[in-house]
Structure 1
């Protein structure tokens, strides 16, 4: 069986075919089916968020043939590195990291300084592109399925996503198994399965990214308020997840 993605095939036809393959399956069974359809071409990107830990548990506990990687931006919280280590230890895993291109990052820092992202949306998006988007494209190159922990509850923009969709920018199928899970369901799963998670989630941090760009959410604020809090709410995406 040819397991490669035919980029000339209409996205709607491909989505219909793969949707039929995983329709009605549990997350674990759907991941196994995707890995069977596209051997060695299914990847899960984790930021070690609480929802990503749910998916990591599905993969690692069942030893599914799904590769796991993370984007180490160089400015993550110490707690994020701790849960990364705890996950490796609990599941005897070795989660691969992708890093920013050295030349791109050095040029940005030399020209604009280490905290230029506070100065303008353009600078912040450039920083995100160098530290996240470009490494992600390297990770996904030549792959078939990108599994994410995307949840609609996190922002108004993310409600436009679908559980299975075509990512035109990266030329991959994108599977978002937790898209319609709420926070209670995620936390219940973590507790029931004793999955390591970032303790910052217990301190008001909802969406955890780079340390300089993330703060705890205050009472009454929405989920995305803790990310790039100095910007207008309509601009709060880093470029990794763009609805088709």
Structure 2
């Protein structure tokens, strides 16, 4: 895509950035990043943001960022993959394909004290996602993520979120700071699904095989279904039967999620 801004004309930001950022600094950075194309945003981030990693469930937008980074730098940020223990076999196959294709380190984190689905169900009970939904999200996503950030020294993560996905993402900015102080970079925040799909095809980027079988968005197997005919929304089929749910918990306020999990006796982070 044609650059929309001259990256050499960037305001003077320290390399690396001094954290935490003030609101004025964050606003200034977003003013600069907003007109840039994703490759430029990622280039800026690699040059300026300390402790940068990429969190990914290997969805299409995350895969685009992985491919872009492979062309920007010979040492792309390591990937953090949160293995909920309930991913589809096709998702695990894709993880191995990406590792082979790009040679980028993948740091895998599972629910605390669990290596298998059986371990998880022995600790939390069967169908925990139905009986205690928020506590489930905390156990499989939020707690492992916080543990990864602490153990790996993560200061910032690259996400695959886009404003066109709607819900809580509709007013997304290029760079955000969450309630814990973690920086979240959203390099494709302004792209729509058609641009993502175009990039995947144009660059022959590996993708989940389930997307060719009627799935629009792939999460855990127990809460992901094929989208119905004419069903709107690029995340159709996720959290089937729970139309009000738009996030898995990873991008919800950490302290809110921890509080909800603690009420169910699951808060350990």
Normalising by the smaller structure, the TM-score range is: 0.7 to 0.9
Q: Which residue of 1 aligns with 2:139?
A: 130
Q: Which residue of 2 aligns with 1:173?
A: 183
Is there any run of 5+ residues in structure 2 with no aligned partner, and where? 1-13, 255-269
The superposition leaves residues 86-134 of structure 1 with CA deviations (integer Å, 9 ceiling, x where unpaired) of 111112233221111117x989734652213224xxx122111101011
Work out whether residues 46 and 69 of structure 1, in 8 Å CA contact, stay in contact via their aligned partners in 2: yes
Map residues 41-60 of structure 1 onto 2, 5 A cutoff. Answer: 41-60=51-70
Distance 1:112 1:98 in 2: 18
Work out whether residues 16 and 47 of structure 2, in 8 Å CA contact, stay in contact via their aligned partners in 1: no
Work out whether residues 48 and 80 of structure 1, in 8 Å CA contact, stay in contact via their aligned partners in 2: yes
2:118 corresponds to 1:95: no
Q: CA deviation at 1:215?
A: 0.9
Distance 2:54 2:106 in 1: 10
Query: Aligned Cα RMSD in Å?
Result: 2.7
Q: CA deviation at 1:168?
A: 1.8
User: CA separation of 1:96/1:144 partners in 2, compared to 1, >3 Å: closer, same or farther?
Assistant: same
**Partner-residue secondary structure (3-state), 1:221:** coil
Match among 207, 221, 231 for residue 217 of structure 2: 207
Q: How many residues align?
A: 236
**Partner-residue secondary structure (3-state), 2:244:** helix
Q: Which residue of 2 aligns with 1:150?
A: 161
Is there any run of 5+ residues in structure 1 with no aligned partner, and where? none
Q: CA deviation at 1:200?
A: 1.1
Work out whether residues 42 and 187 of structure 2, in 8 Å CA contact, stay in contact via their aligned partners in 1: no
Q: Which has the higher helix share?
A: 1
Distance 2:238 2:101 in 1: 29
Q: Which residue of 2 aligns with 1:117?
A: 129
- Which has the larger displacement, 77-86 or 109-118? 109-118
Work out whether residues 224 and 238 of structure 2, in 8 Å CA contact, stay in contact via their aligned partners in 1: yes
- TM-score, L = length of structure 1: 0.84
Work out whether residues 161 and 243 of structure 1, in 8 Å CA contact, stay in contact via their aligned partners in 2: no
Runs of at least 4 residues off by over 4 Å? 105-108
Q: Which residue of 1 aligns with 2:4?
A: none
